[in-house]
Structure 1
Amino acid sequence: MNLHSPRDGDNASETRFKGSGKLAGSAWQNYYHSDVYRSDAIPSMPPGGHPDMDNAFQRLPWGRNQNPMVPNTMEAQLAYAGLFESETDVEDGFPWGESVFSVSKGFLSGFQSFLYVLYMCTALVFCISLIGLIFLILSVAINKPSAESFISLFHDIKYFYLIVAVLYFGGKYGRLLLAYLTDKRQRANPTGLYRREGLVRIKEGKTVFEAPFIEFDAYLVHTPSGRGGRYFNLVLQHRYSKHQLWMKGLLTDAMNQKEVYAYWDMIQQFMDVSGPLPDVPIFEPFRARDPVTAAHDERTGRDPFKWRKVTREAWRKDHEQGWQNRLQETNFHHPCILDAHIQGRGLPLPVEPRGVMLA
């Protein structure tokens, strides 16, 4: 198993796109929009911000994407990556791929999860009930071996197994139907981050707000957990309007704020086309379709199935603790590379005209 250790200094952000013959000219222009986010080419921006948010929550710095690994999301990530067993499976990755990180989530998604749990629990109940059914059949066969006894037993258990069948097939095929409906609904909701275009889109009612990624400030927000602690989440707040996006697409209600720091690192690296996609499971199936990432992986000889070879059991046994330790030891507090390009933060404010009317 060729999985890098958290101690080997494998930091994808350290390897930047230097310009490859395979990416020169048309390949870059055809794939990436002219306004994509590049951490090595940040333009100057006008003043803006939200002092109320700055007073209430911690504004997270941009840059130095040193640890995009969120250990507590890894089992979900490995399960998602495992859906793409071969390169031919990646034609339709959703909600995460090489170009879009979807954040939309609705009632159908939650109900789909409920039906999946119902289907699995009903299957378990059915398997357990078979043990009791075997004992009942043996009891009738030994004590009252007659056709009437077996018919009576059938009438006694038929409603139970009818209910089990309805719940099992309803959960199984209802989940598949809702998966189809949810997929259509989520695809109709463009809310998410767009690496290829460098944009953030937020659907609000029947309208869609769109702005460049670099126009958003990231905040570590917190809410009471109800047990004396706090839940932490990541919110992207548009610097020049009231629009905001709660980044609950992957990490929800974290108990450790460093998980949110790492999540923000992952989001930045996903949007930053000056380097490859984050080396985490959810993006692994799509790395070959992103030109910058494909060039990086070819240059470094990365195994295309590095993460997909790791089972969830192997993750828990061999890797989880090491990455948890690395998360705790990482210092996420550093100067913000974006502030130096924003007027009123790192750049001086524009000089206002100071004309004076003289008598």
Structure 2
Amino acid sequence: SAGRPMTAINSSYYAATAYRSDRMPNQPPSAERSWIRRFAKFRLPWGLTQEVALDDFLIRRKPSSLRFQEEMNKEREEKQKLGTYIPAPYEHVNFHDRHDHESFRFSLWSKRSHFWIYLTGGGRGLFYIAFVVSMMTYFLMLFALDDPWLTTTVELLPILATWIFLPLFCWALGALVIRYLPHLWVKPSRGPIWEINRRTGLVTLFDYDNNGEYKKNGTIGELTAPFYEFDAYIATIPDRQGLVTNVLYIAHRYRDIVINFRPLFAPGEGQLCCALWDFLQNYMDTSRPLPDLPRYEQYRHLDPTTAEYDRKTRRNPRFWIDMNDATFEQELYAMRGKIDQIDTFQRPNLMARHVEYVD
């Protein structure tokens, strides 16, 4: 992997199963995949990673957001000391997601939440389309017919207004509920979908079938295996318009455990899939520090390998939070350049030293 691996940290913080790229165990030969699992899929190599991450991982915790959160935390602490703090709505609700120095746990919003989100976004998009189409239709009919413009307007206006009103109503209703009635739309999903855990080195797919146990008593099953037993694949699939897109997923080498990362970013170029695979390896690798991204800055001192690395390199603990917007844009530009030039397809698969692939 890129970057210098850290020496072993004398700490019980990491589990014995934690992943280290410099201590890869030998494993049994892989199970043969069916032809349908091999079709239109390309296995990505392990190792020799670059320091890359998706845009979203930076933008969602950009420096201005970090500074805003820091001020909010200070204000909350002051009010808690004075006994005047009032928790924000849904502050203590568990939405089943997490992304910090210990684990990356992913969940989706509930179906009810998605309904209102889609109603708002879909209504907004359809309103713009309907407005443009209606205006074009009106003027075309105005010039095409011999009737006076007033007669044409009176005849067409009710029809065109209906086209415009329906999506506008959906947009307005959804925006009203989301803005002022959170109790109607904010609802956690039934639980997480998957988790990759740096501290334990384990990957977990949450099973909501669980041999019928979830329907009986709400027990969520867990399909868990070490990170190094998974391989990453790019699946090439057509979208609704018939265009070829790429999606990243990881599949267990010996069991039917598959995690699809499509919700993390829109399907598109293969470079994004490669960048995400590099990021996952770097994030899980406890022989090296956490990826240097804004979202991890507040946690770096809590991860032993990262804390030791930062101490030796004298890293500024406020590198991201004190960064101005112009510099951050330069960092984003540089990251996009790295992704465009990523060399994944030219790398050897270092896992082949420890696993015999039968397909």
Please give the residue correspondences for 1:180-199 in structure 2 after superposition, counting only pairs within 5 Å: 181-182=187-188, 185=189, 188-189=191-192, 191-199=194-202
Name the counterpart of 1:200.
203
Output the TM-score relative to the length of structure 1.
Answer: 0.66
Cα distance in 2 for partners of 1:176, 1:65 equals 44
1:85 Cα offset (Å): 2.3
Aligned equivalent of 2:48, options 51, 60, 64: 64
Query: 320-329 or 306-315, which moves further after superposition?
Result: 306-315
Judged with a 3 Å threshold, the aligned counterparts in structure 2 of structure 1 residues 86 and 35 are, in CA distance, closer, same or farther, namely farther
Cα distance in 2 for partners of 1:311, 1:114 equals 34
1:77 Cα offset (Å): 4.3
2:19–2:285 Cα contact (<8 Å) kept: yes
Unaligned runs of 5+ in 1: 1-11, 122-162, 346-359
Name the counterpart of 1:124.
none
RMSD (Å) for aligned C-alpha atoms? 3.7
Name the counterpart of 2:314.
301
Question: Structure 1 residue runs of 4+, over 6 Å off?
Answer: 86-89, 115-118, 163-169
1:102 Cα offset (Å): 1.4
Name the counterpart of 1:335.
348
Name the counterpart of 1:110.
114
Alpha-carbon deviations, 1:228-247, whole Å to 9, x = none? 53222211111112220112
1:55 Cα offset (Å): 4.1
Please give the residue correspondences for 1:1-359 in structure 2 after superposition, counting only pairs within 5 Å: 13-19=2-8, 23-24=9-10, 28-29=11-12, 31-49=13-31, 50=33, 52=35, 53-71=37-55, 74-78=58-62, 84-85=69-70, 94-108=97-111, 110=114, 113=117, 170-175=177-182, 179=186, 181-182=187-188, 185=189, 188-189=191-192, 191-205=194-208, 206=214, 207-248=221-262, 250-253=264-267, 255-310=268-323, 315-316=328-329, 318-333=330-345, 334-344=347-357
SS in 1 for 2:264: coil
2:198–2:284 Cα contact (<8 Å) kept: yes
Cα distance in 2 for partners of 1:202, 1:83 equals 34
Letter in 1 for 2:58: M
SS in 2 for 1:170: helix
Name the counterpart of 2:211.
none
Cα distance in 1 for partners of 2:183, 2:331 equals 33
Cα distance in 2 for partners of 1:36, 1:276 equals 14
Output the TM-score relative to the length of structure 2.
Answer: 0.66
Unaligned runs of 5+ in 2: 75-91, 126-169, 209-213, 215-220
* Count, aligned residues: 278
Cα distance in 1 for partners of 2:266, 2:295 equals 16
2:234–2:246 Cα contact (<8 Å) kept: yes
Cα distance in 2 for partners of 1:80, 1:337 equals 38
Alpha-carbon deviations, 1:108-138, whole Å to 9, x = none? 56357559979x99xxxxxxxxxxxxxxxxx
Cα distance in 2 for partners of 1:113, 1:285 equals 31
SS in 2 for 1:58: strand
SS in 2 for 1:171: helix
Alpha-carbon deviations, 1:163-203, whole Å to 9, x = none? 99987663235447755x42xx47x4362101111111111
Letter in 2 for 1:308: I
Name the counterpart of 1:144.
none
SS in 2 for 1:338: helix
Cα distance in 1 for partners of 2:323, 2:120 equals 24
Judged with a 3 Å threshold, the aligned counterparts in structure 2 of structure 1 residues 292 and 173 are, in CA distance, closer, same or farther, namely farther
